[in-house]
């Protein structure tokens, strides 16, 4: 893969029933209460909403490695700043973009521009994958577009540019989703800005794992004489996406009125601007949910989130379901679909799921 130097110049490249657990509900309740004070382990979310360094998932590192640490500085000017110029579109001629949700596991969309500056020196793709991620998850991304030596004059488009038919051709895996769990994307707004259009960011249980991919190409103001009108074309292909994924784009500029060497632009996902985004859903198989031992009814999912909180199927989720989960945890792991009871979304049935169910109810 070709790379730019630190100054942005040039290129260098599931029946058996095991014994039940026995125990009083009060003891379990006390134990769960203690556990609430223990922070979860694993990967960490992006460190802050704004003014934060974010590492790229590209094996070769960032196109503009000006800090020498494989990351970009995300620094938006303030609330609602940097949310007007950059868009996601399924047609480069429609540069203000649109919101797209599809079940197609492969497809193409474009990063487009409508801002007064008329360019971004580099486009990055924020990929967010919801819920439990299979170990064999893969995402193949290719990109093409224009590259140039950044203009040293602030807020000034390049004087010349070159179209490159392949600026990225890379496969990413579960291991590359190094940030999360989180339910927001970085902006200058100082709060949880949505990852996809229509998201309820107050639901902190609906989380994503995230990675930032450098596309190694910039975007230009729409021009019919340019390939794809100056947009960056992005093609994706998922393997083993079992939940939901959302794409967002970010713009880097080396020298702008906002400052130097910073990411400060992204597509809006709120109705007060012109929202655009691209999301991919996975068709879920029909789950066969069995009644737990000594229960008359199968578990129920009342809120439709794919997790079956009402384990005894009595029409409501309450503490009796937590106790039932605790007593039948091994049986559930061997006989039920894991995703239906994986409340902490770590890909397996364990005591953390009991804790997470307790928190939910």
pLDDT tens for each residue of 313-353: 998 899 999 999 999 999 999 999 999 999 998 889 999 99
Query: pLDDT-derived band of residue 97, with 50, 70 and 90 as boundaries?
Result: very high
Q: Can you tell me which residue has the tokens 């021009």?
A: 223
Is residue 45 classed as helix, strand or coil in its secondary structure? coil
Q: Say yes or no to pLDDT of 4 above 60.
A: no
Query: pLDDT-derived band of residue 224, with 50, 70 and 90 as boundaries?
Result: very high
Query: pLDDT-derived band of residue 12, with 50, 70 and 90 as boundaries?
Result: very low
Query: pLDDT-derived band of residue 288, with 50, 70 and 90 as boundaries?
Result: confident
What pLDDT sits at residue 309? Answer: 96
Q: What share of the chain has pLDDT > 90, as a percent? A: 78
- Residues 13-23: tens digit of each pLDDT: 444 444 444 45
Cis amide leading into 181 (omega within 30): yes
Rounded distance between C-alpha atoms, residue 147 and residue 44, angstroms: 33
Rounded distance between C-alpha atoms, residue 247 and residue 163, angstroms: 23
What pLDDT sits at residue 253? Answer: 97
Average pLDDT over residues 158-184: 97
The CA angle 92-71-131, to the nearest 5 degrees, is 70
Closest CA to 74 of 181, 185, 171, 148: 185
What pLDDT sits at residue 264? Answer: 96
- Residues 31-73: tens digit of each pLDDT: 555 544 443 434 799 999 999 999 999 999 999 999 999 999 9
Residue predicted with more confidence, 1 or 85: 85
Query: pLDDT-derived band of residue 93, with 50, 70 and 90 as boundaries?
Result: very high
Rounded distance between C-alpha atoms, residue 214 and residue 98, angstroms: 22
Q: Say yes or no to pLDDT of 269 above 90.
A: yes
What pLDDT sits at residue 19? Answer: 44
Q: What share of the chain has pLDDT > 70, as a percent? A: 87
Question: Over the range 274-288, which residues count as b (16 or more CB within 10 Å of their CB) and which as e?
Answer: ebbbbbbebeeeeee
What pLDDT sits at residue 345? Answer: 87
What pLDDT sits at residue 302? Answer: 84
Tokens of 53: 């360094």
Rounded distance between C-alpha atoms, residue 60 and residue 183, angstroms: 27
Helices 319-327 and 351-360, axial angle in degrees (round to 10):
170
What pLDDT sits at residue 41? Answer: 38
Q: Say yes or no to pLDDT of 107 above 60.
A: yes
Rounded distance between C-alpha atoms, residue 123 and residue 140, angstroms: 17
What pLDDT sits at residue 27? Answer: 61
Q: What is the pTM of this model?
A: 0.71
Q: Say yes or no to pLDDT of 243 above 50.
A: yes
Q: Say yes or no to pLDDT of 165 above 80.
A: yes
Question: Over the range 35-45, which residues count as b (16 or more CB within 10 Å of their CB) and which as e?
Answer: eeeeeeeeeee
Average pLDDT over residues 160-177: 98
Domain ranges of the chain: 25-39+285-360, 52-281
- The answer to whether the beta carbons of residues 245 and 105 sit under 8 Å apart is no
The CA angle 90-96-100, to the nearest 5 degrees, is 40
Please state whether beta strands 119-120 and 122-130 pair in parallel, antiparallel, or not at all (unpaired): unpaired
What pLDDT sits at residue 361? Answer: 84
């Amino acid at each position: 893969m070709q790379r730019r130097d630190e100054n942005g110049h040039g290129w260098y490249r599931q029946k058996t029933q095991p014994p039940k657990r026995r125990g009083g509900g009060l003891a379990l309740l006390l134990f769960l209460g203690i556990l609430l004070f223990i922070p979860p382990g694993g990967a960490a979310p992006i460190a802050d909403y704004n003014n934060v360094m974010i590492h790229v998932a590209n094996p070769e590192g960032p196109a503009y490695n000006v800090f020498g640490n494989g990351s970009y500085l995300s620094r938006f000017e303030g609330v609602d700043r940097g949310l007007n110029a950059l868009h996601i579109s399924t047609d480069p001629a429609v540069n203000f973009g649109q919101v797209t949700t599809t079940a197609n596991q492969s497809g193409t969309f474009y990063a487009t521009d409508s801002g007064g500056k008329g360019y971004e020196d580099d486009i990055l793709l924020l990929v967010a994958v919801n819920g439990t991620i299979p170990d064999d998850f893969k995402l193949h991304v290719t990109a093409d577009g224009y590259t140039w030596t950044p203009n040293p004059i602030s807020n000034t488009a390049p004087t010349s540019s070159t179209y490159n038919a392949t600026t990225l051709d890379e496969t990413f895996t579960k291991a590359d989703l190094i940030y999360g769990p989180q339910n927001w994307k970085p902006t200058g707004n100082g709060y949880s800005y949505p990852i996809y259009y229509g998201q309820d960011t107050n639901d902190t249980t609906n989380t994503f794992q995230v990675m930032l991919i450098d596309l190694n190409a910039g975007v230009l103001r729409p021009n019919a004489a340019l390939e794809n009108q100056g947009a960056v074309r992005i093609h994706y292909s998922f393997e083993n996406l079992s939940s939901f994924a959302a794409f967002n784009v970010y713009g880097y500029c080396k020298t702008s009125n906002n400052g130097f060497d910073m990411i400060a632009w992204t597509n809006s996902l709120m109705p007060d601007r012109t929202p655009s985004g691209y999301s991919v859903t996975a068709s879920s198989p029909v789950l066969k949910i069995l009644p737990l031992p000594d229960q008359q009814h199968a578990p129920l999912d009342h809120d439709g989130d794919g997790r079956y909180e009402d384990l005894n199927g009595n029409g409501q989720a309450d503490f009796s379901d937590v106790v039932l989960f605790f007593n039948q945890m091994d049986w559930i792991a061997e006989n039920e679909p894991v995703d239906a009871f994986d409340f902490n979304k770590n890909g397996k049935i364990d005591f953390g799921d009991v804790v997470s169910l307790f928190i939910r109810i």
